[in-house]
Structure 1
């Protein structure tokens, strides 16, 4: 499912216009981004948690040359599904 299909589904399910569904999805995504940018966690009980994790700096290897390179530490987004979501999938 892509974003357009998601907008269509939400519009039908919530009995709202596609434009309103699009604004709601965009707002939701922006809230998640801003929360994670601050380093906070967003938890939706039963659905899951969006959080930021930090990967430590480490040495890697260039696959072409075999040369050792330094990889900087970085922050990465993580999603942990909730119990209800896990049960719904299985």
Structure 2
């Protein structure tokens, strides 16, 4: 399912025009991205959590040049579904 499909479904179910729904969906995604970039987690009860995970520094190998490189510590976004969400999917 794509973002356009989601917008169409919400528009069909609520009767709100697609332009307004698209603006709402875009705004939601921007808020989640901005919160995560500032280091704040986003919790949606019954759906799941968008959280920041910290990756430790590690040593990796560049096979083509036969050298080792150090990958610095960094953060990555992650999604953890709620238990009710997992039960419905199963």
TMscore range, shorter length: over 0.9
1:83 aligned partner: 83
Q: Deviation per CA, 1:40-77, whole angstroms, max 9, x where unpaired?
A: 11111110000111111110011323321111111100
TM normalised by structure 2 equals 0.93
2:39 is matched with 39
In 1, Cα distance between equivalents of 2:26 and 2:41: 19
Alpha-carbon distance in 1 for matches of 2:14, 2:73? 42
Alignment RMSD: 1.0
Corresponding pairs, count: 90
Q: Which blocks of at least 5 consecutive residues in structure 2 are unaligned? A: none
The residue number in structure 1 matching 2:49 is 49
Map residues 1-20 of structure 1 onto 2, 5 A cutoff: 1-20=1-20
The runs of at least 4 aligned residues of structure 1 exceeding 6 Å deviation read none
